[in-house]
Amino acid sequence: SLLSFAVGIRVHHSFLILSNYSVFGPVQNMATETFFKFDFGYVAQHALNFAVIVFAFLFVDLFDTVGTLIGVAQEGNLLNEKGELPRVGRALMSDALGTCLGACLGTSTVTSYVESTTGVAEGGRTGLTALTSAILFILAIPLYPIFLAIPSFATAPALVFVGLLMIKNVTKMDFDSDIADTVGGFVAIIFMPFAYSIATGIMFGILTWVILKIVTGKIKEIHPIMWVAFALFAVRIVTMICGVSS
């Protein structure tokens, strides 16, 4: 970051406003501009579009969270012998409460992030690393213009490292097993970086898996939950194509 500033690649306006920055300014703005400032007028006028938007947010948040939890848990060897995450309901409930609370406060979604893998890779298991990160975020509030000035390419290497931690789990896939499992997993892996979304990767992976199960005559192996997910994802694809979600 310092090198980019020295050569003039990145000069952020945050440094210019640092002298006028007030620690409690964002809190005051939140209280008057975003705190519980709901407007349900749009719902009454565009009920169908609103339902589609709610479904889109539900889909993205749910499957982003599920994908993140499974990935982080696998990195920390927290999955059981069936590949399931014990007490996953508590983690999902925490994520749901954070999402709702964040919306009430007018902030971006308060959810789990795949960057947590770095903490797990360093030995984090009990939640102490998460608590430490939370404390550091609080301490960073008075200095947020400085952190805002850090260019994205300075933090990109950390995200590449996270990707390396996640991609190594591919070696645990059984490529000699059912073609639906193999191709479905491969499609999910490919779509995640190209779509820039864990949820989208999971969506196309499940769609591919169900279709291949049908084509290969193994329709009886499809769980009812997967049929429900397949139907919802099909609706999601249609809304994306028709542009309703926008």
pLDDT at 210: 93
How many CA atoms are closer than 13 Å to the CA of 1, on its beta-carbon side? 12
Note whether 105 and 185 are same-domain residues: no
Note whether 64 and 133 are same-domain residues: yes
Query: Does 145 reside within a domain?
Result: yes
Task: Write the single-letter amino acid at 71.
Answer: G
Q: List, for the chain, all residue ranges whose pLDDT scores fall below the cut of 50.
A: 245-246
Note whether 121 and 202 are same-domain residues: no
Note whether 60 and 128 are same-domain residues: yes
Q: Say if CB 1 and CB 154 are below 8 A apart.
A: yes
pLDDT at 245: 47
Residue 218 corresponds to which tokens in the numbers above?
Answer: 């193994």
According to DSSP, residue 32 is labeled I
Note whether 78 and 133 are same-domain residues: yes
Note whether 67 and 35 are same-domain residues: yes
pLDDT at 107: 77
Q: Give the model confidence (pLDDT) of 163-219 as tens digits.
A: 777 777 777 777 777 888 889 888 988 888 888 887 788 889 989 999 999 999 999
CA gap 207, 184 in Å, rounded: 8
- Residues whose CB falls within 8 Å of the CB of residue 26, separated by 6 or more in sequence, listed in order: 141
Query: Does 4 reside within a domain?
Result: no
Q: Give the model confidence (pLDDT) of 88-98 as tens digits.
A: 888 889 888 98
Query: Does 101 reside within a domain?
Result: yes
Query: Does 47 reside within a domain?
Result: yes
CA gap 200, 236 in Å, rounded: 10
pLDDT at 209: 92
Cβ atoms < 10 Å from Cβ of 23:
10
User: What does R_g of the chain's alpha carbons equal in angstroms?
Assistant: 21
Residue 128 corresponds to which tokens in the numbers above?
Answer: 């102490």
- Tokens 């500033």 label which residue? 5
pLDDT at 108: 76
Q: Say if CB 165 and CB 117 are below 8 A apart.
A: yes
Note whether 112 and 194 are same-domain residues: no
Note whether 226 and 185 are same-domain residues: yes
Note whether 131 and 227 are same-domain residues: no
Task: Write the single-letter amino acid at 180.
Answer: A
Report the number of distinct structural domains present in the chain. Answer: 2
Query: Does 167 reside within a domain?
Result: no
Where in the sequence is the domain holding 30, given as residue range(s)?
14-151
Domain boundary residue, one of 118, 151, 184: 151
Residue 30 corresponds to which tokens in the numbers above?
Answer: 């939140």
**pTM score > 0.75 for this model?**
no
Domain boundary residue, one of 151, 186, 202: 151
pLDDT at 6: 65
Query: Does 108 reside within a domain?
Result: yes
Query: Does 159 reside within a domain?
Result: no
Note whether 130 and 82 are same-domain residues: yes
Note whether 194 and 140 are same-domain residues: no
pLDDT at 25: 58
Note whether 95 and 207 are same-domain residues: no
